[in-house]
Amino acid sequence: MERRHPRVAIAAETPARGGSRRHWYVAGFVALIAIAVFAPALQNDFVTWDDDRNFVTNAQYRGLGWTQLQWMWTTSHMGHYIPLTWMTFGLDYVLWGMEPAGYHLTNVLIHAANAVLAFFLILRLLSLSLPTAAPNDRALAASAAFGALVFAAHPLRVESVAWVTERRDVLCGLFCLATLLAYLRAQIAAERRWYRLSIGLYACALLSKSMAVPLSLVLLIIDAYPLRRIGGTVGWWSPVARRVYVEKMPFVLLAGTTSIVAFAALFSLDNAATLDDVGVVDRLALSAYGLAFYLWKTLLPIRLTPLYEAHAFLVSSALSAGVVVAITALAVTLRRRFPALIAVWVTYGVMLLPVLGIFQNGPQIAADRYTYLTTLSWTVLGCGAVAVGWRRWQGSPGRARIVAVGLIAVIAVLGALTWKQVHVWRDSETLWRHVVALDPGSAVGHSNLGAVLERDGKITAAIEEFQQALRINPRFAPPHRNWGNALVRQGRFAEAIEHYTAALRIDPDDADAHNNLGAALIQHAEPVEMLKSYFQLMAALSYDQEVGRISDRHAELAEAIEHFRQALRIRPDYAAAHANWGLALEKQGREHEAREHFEEARRLASVTAPPMRTWRRLGTTKQRRLPHFRSERRPATRWSADGAGIVRAAVLASRHDADHDDRGQSPQAGLACRARAPLGALARSA
């Protein structure tokens, strides 16, 4: 490894001599504060914001056997390739089953470990950046502790820690912080084993979440400042600088490979905005807004919500652009006198690059979880200012005490806000009521709140939420689909079919609407006229199917089967469609084929089949014995049944089969029925 700049070599020794036992005591205190602040998360449930499809209805991750590991290392479930994250979830299942508290505990403990790593990273960077750093410098240790506590207790961390799905954030953060520490140690101690370790840790970070891709560029920024291995007197293309670039090749290759995999996984969802949807100018405006937004929320972390939609951002886009231009100009102007500012600003922008509007994905324009590591560079800068001020005021005990009290007050306020924000994630209804309270214009929020209310049997209140969602955005399909679900539960089949067809007019590739409408038509008491209008709609949507004269019940079932086939064309792993297809085949007397679809539904939904149960066939009193699926563990939805309380097999097989993605689409499931009149397509959402 090349010889380092002399100033770096002197400063590099400081952390080694000063890395006393006292630093570990401080790090332990930081970890305890992180755990205490997030303790309420242990009482939280899974929420219907990706948790349902990731855990409640997904049996593929449950365990660490060969079958589960094979799935974890090959899947891009919900648009993410995160095998290491899935392995931690598999371990959670081994330890806790489907108890949410165990999953939340793992998140909190990883976050506490990250707070410890953040303390040592800040301490290392301050010792490299500040001149005349003395051994066991209390100012550096106190400043690093303050920065680590800000990182650990800031309300912007809540989404990453209190939301089980975002395990990928905290786990990726763990490996990113470890990568930076190992890399710094490699340069300071000139030991190749630490360099190799940093490469391995970086690979683990990428396998936890692709958000780590920009870290390879951050290492170059650190080489420029504070290590000063490139730029300045060394130059940007000298032999020494070229060796630094070559040294980054393993990191770049890992980042490039991960980027390809990440884009392939993302595009598989068909969720990314095209240039026709969001033009170049709009993307630049969104990017400027994001850069300013996260700084503002870091300084004033209030009115935090899981969903920041794009309908209001243009009001402040010009102001955001002005802020970005001003900071950039200031950083460039002071690049020689104060190189830390431009290093922090560039690091901040590089780390945010994958989630800025340049790669717009879904309706959100920002998310609290994107700040987990991206704002840490500003924290380091603030800690440097605290350390400098602390040193200057050491001769004035009164001022030093005032500063100390002020810093403690900042941590106390942040901790109180975080404690409060953690409770927002208590359960699905609390979460979505919070969203619509902060943003009454959120169609996604109203639709998802209505879905939760419908799940809990509050049909009238749910329909009001769907109506509000459609008043806000009449071209939004999920409220129509969810409204249809609520009407089905009330037995109002004709109205439900109207809403399902309305959803299909808006989104012809809505697999849930296909499944739900097809199943409802099978069970409708007077299906013929409804089928005629439905088939006319399907013909208008240019689906390949024969729309002829409906002469008997067999024809109705055949047409319904076609729509289950369409649902499976759109989403091949849709358990509800298989379950409903099996029901239609059974009504045609094709029991062998029906059983195949029931078995496939059970395999996909991973439900168990208890002893045969009674099934009352439509229009007769004849009873039939069919498989009855039920949830393997914690039920995500509650089903009511009248009469004898008979619940159809495919109901639980299809619950929550689909999940809302980042566009806000809600999870939909499939078939439900009652003892006297089996009905189809009681879809679930949240």
Q: What is the pLDDT of residues 203-255, one digit of tens each?
A: 999 999 999 999 999 999 999 999 999 988 888 999 999 999 999 999 999 99
Q: What CATH number should be reported for the domain holding residue 570? A: 1.25.40.10
The count of residues in the chain is 686
Q: Which of 392, 425, 458 is the last residue of a domain?
A: 425
Question: How far is Cα 131 from Cα 127, in angstroms, rounded to an integer?
Answer: 8
Angle between helices 397-422 and 138-153 (to 10 degrees): 20
**Quick one: 487 and 622 in the same domain?**
yes
What pLDDT is recorded for position 426? 95
**Quick one: 623 and 492 in the same domain?**
yes
Q: Is residue 583 part of a domain?
A: yes
What pLDDT is recorded for position 121? 97
Q: Which of 375, 396, 425 is the last residue of a domain?
A: 425
**Quick one: 373 and 500 in the same domain?**
no
**Quick one: 415 and 538 in the same domain?**
no
What pLDDT is recorded for position 540? 54
Nearest to 606 by CA among 629, 627, 638: 629
Q: How many CA atoms lie within 13 A of 429 on its CB side?
A: 10
Question: How far is Cα 468 from Cα 308, in angstroms, rounded to an integer?
Answer: 18
**Quick one: 540 and 411 in the same domain?**
no
Q: Is residue 101 part of a domain?
A: yes
What pLDDT is recorded for position 264? 85
Evaluate whether 404 touches 386 at the Cβ level (below 8 Å): no
What pLDDT is recorded for position 79? 86
Which residues in the chain land under pLDDT 70? 1-19, 132-136, 269-277, 311-315, 360, 362, 395, 523-556, 559, 605-686
Say how many domains are in the chain. Answer: 2
What pLDDT is recorded for position 555? 65
**Quick one: 68 and 213 in the same domain?**
yes
What pLDDT is recorded for position 120? 96
Question: How far is Cα 418 from Cα 33, in angstroms, rounded to an integer?
Answer: 12
Q: Is residue 681 part of a domain?
A: no
**Quick one: 389 and 490 in the same domain?**
no
Q: How many CA atoms lie within 13 A of 48 on its CB side?
A: 35
pLDDT, tens digit, 9 for 90 and up, residues 261-302: 988 887 776 666 666 667 778 788 888 999 999 999 999 999
* Residue 461 domain boundaries: 440-654
